[in-house]
Amino acid sequence: MHHANHFYGHAHVLAAYCGLDPADPPRIHGFLQHGWNVLDGLGPETPYLPGLPIFVWSQRTRRRAWSMGRRQATVVGAPYLYLLSLRPAAGPPERSGTIWYPFHGWERQSVAGDHQRLIDEAVATEPGPITFCLYWQEYHNPRIRAAYERAGRVICHGYRGKRWQDTDRQFLHQQLTELRRHRRVASNRLSSAVLYGAVTGCEPAVYGDPMQLNGEDRRLAAWIRRQWPELHGTDPDPVDASASAAAELGADGMVGPDELRALLGWRRPAPTPAIASRA
């Protein structure tokens, strides 16, 4: 089905949760939401085949999908939550500093804004060392990357993939590892990364110039800040922020392996043949 189902290794994580081979996940019968958004769970340019199911993260997203006429939307929760269940923390992590996710563009839209101004505000606001996590496009831009390297550690979680090629199926694993190392998670836009950090024990913050995508409605960022005030600012209440993040990620919509396999159109794994013991 649609190649976005493999973005960030989502299908691979769900396959592991379902007891299937994470290196070769079966085809998902439908469209899987691949990132937090304020529409129906799909990207605005995702070609949708009417009648096929949409697997969304949260009840709020399902209601928006239904209001847009897409009645096949089913809540399953974000793949990141399933990864958390697969990789429970061994104990209280030793956290320090902030992991900062600058708002980024993608293949069809670049982001416009003053990166140095954003860096200066982050450095002035954050109390400890900063790890700047750049999206692959900005990470491979020497000018942008150098500006962030002058202010802190710079990393990239990997390439999300495109048309089933070059997907870094360890993307979410690497993100989880980094989030558990940091005390705070911050960005200039509310995003999947901030929500992931909030449910992973980081203190979230969203502040600074939200920047703009080319051709984007400039009212969108302001609308998002009005809709989710509990996740915005330099020091939101971590309890309220975590509860809001869990709701947006669909923590109450997660299902067990058997039900998830049925929903995604995957077969139950074949039992391992018994090996006869030798006398």
Domain of 136, CATH number, reads: 3.40.50
What is the per-residue pLDDT for 48?
72
Residues 229 and 258 in one domain: no
Can you tell me the distance from the alpha carbon of 114 to that of 118, in angstroms, rounded to the nearest whole number?
6
pLDDT higher at 268 or 38: 38
Which residues span the domain enclosing 38?
A: 3-78+250-264
- Per-residue pLDDT tens digits for 128-185: 899 999 998 889 999 999 999 999 999 999 987 676 667 788 999 999 999 999 999 9
Least confident of 30-34, 76-80, 221-225, 274-278: 274-278
What is the total count of domains within the chain?
2
Please say whether the beta carbons of 197 and 204 come within 8 A.
yes
Ranked by mean pLDDT, the top range of 2-11, 109-118, 213-222 is: 2-11
If pLDDT is split at 50, 70 and 90, which confidence band does 271 have? low
Residue 110 domain-assigned (yes or no): yes
Residue 275 lies in a domain: no
74 and 109 inside one domain: no
- Both 35 and 129 in a single domain? no
User: 85-91 long-range contacts, Cβ below 8 Å, gap at least 24?
Assistant: 85/17, 85/254, 86/13, 86/16, 86/17, 87/173, 87/176, 89/180
250: left (phi over 0), alpha (psi -120 to 50) or beta: left
Residue 212 has a pLDDT of: 75
* Cβ atoms of 56 and 23 closer than 8 Å: no
Confidence (pLDDT) at 276: 46
**pTM (predicted TM-score):** 0.92
